Amino acid sequence: MTTQVEIFRRLHASGCFVMPNPWDLGSATLLDQMGFPALATTSAGHAWSRARADGHVRLEDMLAHFREMAAHVHVPLNGDFEGGYAVEPADVAANVARAAETGVAGLSIEDSTGDPAKPLHDFALSVERVRAARRALEASGVVFTARSEGFVAGRPDLKETIRRLTAYAEAGADCLYAPGLRTEEEVAAVVRAVSPKPVNVLAAANFTTVPRLRDLGVRRISTGGALARVALTAFLAAAREIAKDGTLTALEGIVTNRELNGMLGT
């Protein structure tokens, strides 16, 4: 029988696919029913659902989240593994190996440090982290995505981002990802630089379209925490209206209990 890992690898071989990011079992179920060929976790959305800021979910909790989500959906699941929950390559490899055992079909790790004064790991260390993670995933075949976070960590330098992504590709990453790109020119430059390796683009702002990204050669499109923010935006707007004005206009036209029960009921 074809495994989810094998299906996920085939998706990266050609064409372009959208891989949205649910944050819990309910949102995963709804997206699963819409026919998307793959889904991905979002560290931010999951953290918010646990009343935490992004980056403040513990390793054991994240591994449990991967297990629950992978067991629940019917399509390949990519796991947002933040920075691998370690700095040193050997420790990253050990954690990545554990994550690969949760049932995910793909994993990504970042090169950001969480330190605003030095937001990215040193170049050489970042490459070794990618190489170590790739080796740790060799036996499982899990698709490995290496992310360079400069554009979302305060260092929006396209030249440096491309230097890092190219090195990560050479170090064995299966897919390359620079969240925060905001122009089609930036996207096209990244795609050209790492070709023929596939590129993931974050669709978290209205700067392009899926057909246009497909035309630019993008292989995979994800939404990160954007769908969670869409849901929370509506939630906050309605709650603030009730709290401030005592009116209920935000509750007009919302999805009904019957619809949700029909989509989520067993």
Query: Going from the N-terminus, what domains does the chain have, and what CATH number goes with each?
Result: 4-225 (3.20.20.60)
Cβ atoms 137, 96 nearer than 8 A: yes
Cα–Cα distance list, 253 to 8, 31, 248, 249 (Å): 37, 21, 11, 9
pLDDT (average), residues 257-261 = 95
Tell me: the pLDDT tens digits for 83-142?
999 999 999 999 999 999 999 999 999 999 999 999 999 999 999 999 999 999 999 999
Residue 42 CA neighbour count, 13 Å, CB half:
27
pLDDT for position 266: 64
> According to the model, what pLDDT value does residue 237 have?
98
Question: Model confidence over 47-64: pLDDT tens digits?
Answer: 999 999 999 999 999 999
The predicted model scores a pTM of: 0.97
pLDDT digit string (tens) for 155-214? 999 999 999 999 999 999 999 999 999 999 999 999 999 999 999 999 999 999 999 999
The number of C-alpha atoms within 13 Å of 10 and in the hemisphere containing its C-beta is 9
Integer Cα distance of 68 and 129 in angstroms:
27
Beta-bridged to residue 147, according to DSSP, are 177
Q: For tokens 């067993």, what's the residue?
A: 266
**pLDDT on residue 1:** 78
Q: Which residues pair with 80 in a beta bridge?
A: 108
